[in-house]
Amino acid sequence: MSKITSVAKWEYLEKVKSKAFLIGLFLTPMLMVIMGVLPSLFMAQEDTTTKVVGVIDPTGNLAGPLIREMESRYQLANGQPNYLVRPLAVGKGINVPSAVSDADRLAVSDEIEGYCVIGGGGNGDSVAEYRSKAIGDLRLIGRLEETLKSVMTEQKAMTLGISPAVVKELTVKLDLRPVKLSKAGEEEGGFERVFFSAYVFLMALFLLIITSGQMLVRSILEEKSNRIVEVLVSSCSSTELMAGKVLGLSALGLTQMGFWAIIGVAVTIQFGVSLVTPGVAALMVVYFTLGYLFYAAVFIGAGSPLTTEQEAQQVTSYLVMLLIVPIALAFPAMKNPDATWLKVLTFIPFLTPTMMALRIPIQMPALWEILATVLLMIVCIGLAMVGAGRVFRIGILSTGKSPKLAEIFRWAIKG
Amino acid sequence: MLKVDHLRKVFASVVAVDDVSFEIQPGEIFGLLGPNGAGKTTTIRIILNILEADGGTVSYRGMPFSDAVRNSVGYLPEERGLYRKSKLLDTILYFGELRGLKRSTAKSEALRWLERFSLLDYRDRKVEELSKGNQQKVQFITAIIHDPPLLILDEPFSGLDPVNQILFKDIFQEVKQAGKAIVFSTHQMDQAERLSDALCLINKGRVVLDGTVRDVKKRYGTNSAHVEFEGDGSFMNSLSGVRRAIMYENAAELELEPDAHTQQILAAMNGKVELRKFEIVEPSLQSIFIQIVGAPEKSPAQEVAR
């Protein structure tokens, strides 16, 4: 058996059994679910108990209809009203500031969820305030706003002498739904789904590279610190050793991706939701593989000259920062997927795979961009492997003080 | 078999190995001696192609020592270490395969060696669960598993308990009998003296002594006499044939001139002191070494008194 395959087999089998790998394998999909699905699940979850909301109404004629409407419109699953509206101070003569300070106390002490102060705008534009500890309850605020609006409209109509029936007839209910378009035609899924799939791919690629990168650096450090590396390089050439490591690591990455893909397919079949089209999935596999190989070389080059665990952590954290950049860019990228700066960043080899993982689910980049970046990555992987091989040959045998960055680059270029 | 020719290695401005040459024959146990920092490990690393020499050549059976002969060598590095989290048998098999063994051969050999070292029951344990001494045995197995014609062992005895030292020495003899060669480094002269057929003594990167143990003793050694007595022995310093006398309480170490007549010295002592013991001692490598390069850390008197 060739020595390369011996090394590859060893690297693969020893790492696939390691706790770090198993944790990454299972934890990553779980993290995805927790971070991606849970918040929207919670958002969509209906209340199970009645919430008490207060109202301060200096006009005196809005509180009554508001209380009626809020209680009759929204109901819990068990038929009880979702909201009970308590009149805290209602009438033309009330002292609003003192009523507000009393109500604040009630809200802070959790006696009421929050309360609404209707501004005395009369028949002009109205102002209202919702005061609460939990102003994140967007659903409650939305419903309050809607109900208050319709109550105000009714009041206005009455003063103008229009019958409530006409008002009802005039009220339009509109639900604006975003639909994502692409060359292939209309696609299902709104903002959340696009964002979520881009986010899933980014995180998956990030975790894939980081877990194997860290394992790689750690194992090189172990081999260096206890001098196993001397036995290794006296048994095979450093090129064979590195090739074996890259091969073993790639098999590891494929295992991980395969496992996640199975989970993805299972989720698709089970819940009937598919995040991506097969075409997108295939492109993802391409960029994952390219990114993985590129970063394998980067980790070998950056990791093999190191001598201590602390330095390894430091170097890893720099690389983490590089990998995490596109996650920070997710929102602006979704707002404007055609921006020039996005395209420019995509052509920086360190960012290419992650930028593509971000961009493809949002909007399929032009064919030339895909071809050009794939070509760019292949060239860069080749160069990085050669450079990493040179650094590796010298680096794995260096002990004591770690070399300076400039020195490492000199090794990589001159050999 | 292995020929090391005018090796030279410079680190920064320090000359670590300076014009080192020696040759090893099949069936020979060759000791590479020297104090700590003499350049032994560097020499070994150059032989194994782990380090590149700045000058000189290493050849194995007339060929340059390169990738082609990798599988002919077994190596035990000075620092002890294995993959801590891996299982014993897996580790040994890996190193066996790296040295070109087929998996099935590697397995039967591994089991045989584990049995020999009474480690068979531990074969599925992780390396880190083993004691230091046992880890060292496993590491030795990884060096010898492919039955190489040449074994290179850097300080193989350091950290071994006496029982296992004997086990290692037995294996040394078996390897020698099978016509294979061992190069081992040590800073313990007495060990080298007992084990090796030939040796090379390095100090500060340079060869200061080489040849067979017998030759070296003949060339550099002066005999000495070990005397135990009662009475005043101060006169011994001025006896003819005695170069120097180191006095202890009721005992003395006499360094003799090469042409000293031991019987005359013995006769001269008679009557002056009450003799209890008079012994002519062959020079030890230790004393020869000290004689040649001096003893930076320990004075000879302390060394003998120990």
Task: From chain B, pick out residues whose CB is under 8 angstroms from the CB of A225.
Answer: 81
Chain B contact for A3, CB < 8 A?
yes
Contact A226 B79 (CB under 8 A): yes
Which one-letter DSSP state was computed for residue B65?
S
Q: Name the range with the highest mean pLDDT among A195-209, B105-119, B205-219.
A: B105-119
In tens, the pLDDT along A308-347 reads 888 888 888 888 888 888 888 888 888 888 888 889 999 9
Whether B306 shows a pLDDT value over 50: the answer reads no
Residue B304 domain-assigned?
A: no
Q: Among A210-224, A355-369, B257-271, name the one with the lowest average pLDDT.
A: B257-271
Contact B81 A234 (CB under 8 A): no
Average of pLDDT values for B218-239? 83
Task: From chain B, pick out residues whose CB is under 8 angstroms from the CB of A234.
Answer: 48-50, 70, 73, 75
Domain shared by B114 and B55, yes or no: yes
Q: Among A10-14, A131-135, B82-86, B299-303, name the one with the lowest average pLDDT.
A: B299-303
Chain B contact for A228, CB < 8 A?
yes
Question: Per CATH, which fold does A51-170 belong to?
Answer: D-Maltodextrin-Binding Protein; domain 2 (3.40.190)
Interface test with A, best of B69, B87, B97 (most A CBs within 10 A): B97
Distance CA A175, CA A169 (A): 17
pTM of the model: 0.73
Whether A227 shows a pLDDT value over 70: the answer reads yes
Burial of A15 (0-12, 13-18, 19+ CB in 10 A): buried
Chain Cα centroid distance, residue A317 = 19
At A190 the pLDDT is: 61
At B302 the pLDDT is: 38
User: What are the percentages of helix, strand and coil residues in chain A, rounded to 5?
Assistant: 65, 10, 25
Contact B75 A1 (CB under 8 A): no
In tens, the pLDDT along A76-87 reads 888 888 888 889
- Give, rounded to a whole angstrom, the gap between the first and last alpha carbons of chain B: 40
Task: From chain B, pick out residues whose CB is under 8 angstroms from the CB of A7.
Answer: 98
Task: From chain A, pick out residues whose CB is under 8 angstroms from the CB of B49.
Answer: 233-234
Give me the CATH number covering residue B230: 3.30.70.100
Residue B96 domain-assigned?
A: yes
In chain A, the residue whose alpha carbon lies closest to the alpha carbon of B104 is A1
Percent of chain B at pLDDT exceeding 90: 37
* B-proximal residues of A, 206-225, CB under 8 Å: 222, 225
Whether A62 shows a pLDDT value over 50: the answer reads yes
Contact B49 A233 (CB under 8 A): yes
Instruction: For strands A114-118 and A51-57, give the pairing.
Output: parallel
In chain B, the residue whose alpha carbon lies closest to the alpha carbon of A396 is B50
The rounded radius of gyration (Å) of the Cα atoms in chain B is: 23
Chain B contact for A18, CB < 8 A?
yes
Look up residue A197 and give its amino acid: S
State the pLDDT confidence band at B35, using cuts at 50, 70 and 90.
confident
Question: Chain B: nearest CA to A19, how far in angstroms?
Answer: 11
Domain shared by B167 and B259, yes or no: no
Q: 3-class DSSP state for residue B62? A: coil
In tens, the pLDDT along B40-96 reads 999 999 998 888 889 898 999 888 877 678 889 999 998 777 888 899 999 999 999
- Nearest in space to B225 (alpha carbons), one of B266, B254, B250, B246: B254
Percent of chain B at pLDDT exceeding 70: 95
Task: From chain A, pick out residues whose CB is under 8 angstroms from the CB of B50.
Answer: 230, 233-234, 397
Neighbours of B2 (CB within 10 A): 24
Question: Chain A: nearest CA to B100, how far in angstroms?
Answer: 7
Token code pair at residue A118: 């209707």
Q: Name the range with the highest mean pLDDT among A186-195, B108-117, B201-210.
A: B108-117
In tens, the pLDDT along A370-414 reads 999 999 999 999 999 999 988 998 888 877 677 777 788 888 877
Contact B143 A231 (CB under 8 A): yes
Q: Which residues of B touch A (CB under 8 A)?
A: 45, 48-51, 67, 70-71, 73, 75, 77-86, 90, 94-95, 97-100, 102-103, 142-143
Average pLDDT, chain B: 86
Strands (E) located in A119-183: 128-132, 180-182
**Of B212, B234, B264, at which residue does a domain stop?**
B212
Distance CA A296, CA B258 (A): 68
Residue B298 domain-assigned?
A: no
Average of pLDDT values for B290-296? 67
Residue B294 domain-assigned?
A: no
Q: What b/e sequence results for B153-163 when a residue is b if at least 16 CB atoms lie within 10 Å of its CB, and e otherwise?
A: bbbbbeebeee
In chain A, the residue whose alpha carbon lies closest to the alpha carbon of B140 is A231
At B145 the pLDDT is: 94
At B304 the pLDDT is: 38
**Of B154, B186, B212, at which residue does a domain stop?**
B212
In chain B, the residue whose alpha carbon lies closest to the alpha carbon of A239 is B67
Average of pLDDT values for B125-133? 90
Domain shared by B44 and B125, yes or no: yes
Report yes or no: A81 and A75 within 8 Å, Cβ to Cβ.
Answer: yes
Number of domains in chain B: 2
**Of B212, B231, B265, at which residue does a domain stop?**
B212
Task: From chain B, pick out residues whose CB is under 8 angstroms from the CB of A407.
Answer: none
In tens, the pLDDT along B257-286 reads 877 788 888 888 888 888 889 888 877 777
Domain shared by B181 and B56, yes or no: yes
- Nearest in space to A79 (alpha carbons), one of A46, A42, A55: A46
Average of pLDDT values for B125-142? 91
Domain shared by B170 and B61, yes or no: yes
Neighbours of A9 (CB within 10 A): 18
- Can you spell out the DSSP letters for B244-306? EEEEETTEEEEEEPTT--HHHHHHHHBTTBEEEEEEEEPPPHHHHHHHHH--SSS-HHHHHH-
* B-proximal residues of A, 230-249, CB under 8 Å: 230-237
State the pLDDT confidence band at A36, using cuts at 50, 70 and 90.
low
Contact B97 A232 (CB under 8 A): no
State the pLDDT confidence band at A181, using cuts at 50, 70 and 90.
low
Contact A236 B75 (CB under 8 A): no
Domain shared by B171 and B258, yes or no: no
Distance CA B169, CA B57 (A): 30
Neighbours of B284 (CB within 10 A): 17
pLDDT: which is higher, A35 or B26: B26
- Cβ-based contacts under 8 A for chains A and B: 60
Domain shared by B66 and B122, yes or no: yes
Residue B289 domain-assigned?
A: no
Which one-letter DSSP state was computed for residue A36?
I
Q: 3-class DSSP state for residue A5? A: helix
- Nearest in space to B240 (alpha carbons), one of B256, B226, B227: B256
Contact B81 A228 (CB under 8 A): yes
Domain shared by B82 and B156, yes or no: yes
Contact B98 A236 (CB under 8 A): yes
Whether B130 shows a pLDDT value over 70: the answer reads yes
Contact A234 B50 (CB under 8 A): yes
State the pLDDT confidence band at B200, using cuts at 50, 70 and 90.
very high
Chain B contact for A309, CB < 8 A?
no
Average of pLDDT values for B143-168? 90
- DSSP lists the bridge partners of residue B153 as B76, B184
Residue B301 domain-assigned?
A: no
Q: 3-class DSSP state for residue B14? A: strand
Whether A369 shows a pLDDT value over 90: the answer reads yes
Domain that holds residue B253: 222-282
Residue boundaries of the structural domains of chain A: 3-39+189-414, 51-170
Give me the CATH number covering residue B70: 3.40.50.300
Domain shared by B26 and B101, yes or no: yes
Contact A231 B51 (CB under 8 A): no
Residue B300 domain-assigned?
A: no
Residue B50 domain-assigned?
A: yes
Question: Chain A: nearest CA to B68, how far in angstroms?
Answer: 10
Neighbours of B237 (CB within 10 A): 14
Distance CA B164, CA B161 (A): 6
**Which of A18, A228, A234 has the CB atom closest to B82's CB atom?**
A228
Instruction: For strands B55-60 and A51-57, give the pairing.
Output: unpaired
Whether A264 shows a pLDDT value over 60: the answer reads yes
Q: What b/e sequence results for A316-354 when a residue is b if at least 16 CB atoms lie within 10 Å of its CB, and e otherwise?
A: beebeeebeebbebeeebbeebeeeebbebbeebbbbbb
At B103 the pLDDT is: 92
pLDDT: which is higher, B178 or A227: B178
Domain shared by B129 and B199, yes or no: yes
Question: Chain A: nearest CA to B149, how far in angstroms?
Answer: 14
Domain shared by B231 and B198, yes or no: no
Domain shared by B271 and B134, yes or no: no
Q: 3-class DSSP state for residue A265? A: helix
State the pLDDT confidence band at B182, using cuts at 50, 70 and 90.
very high
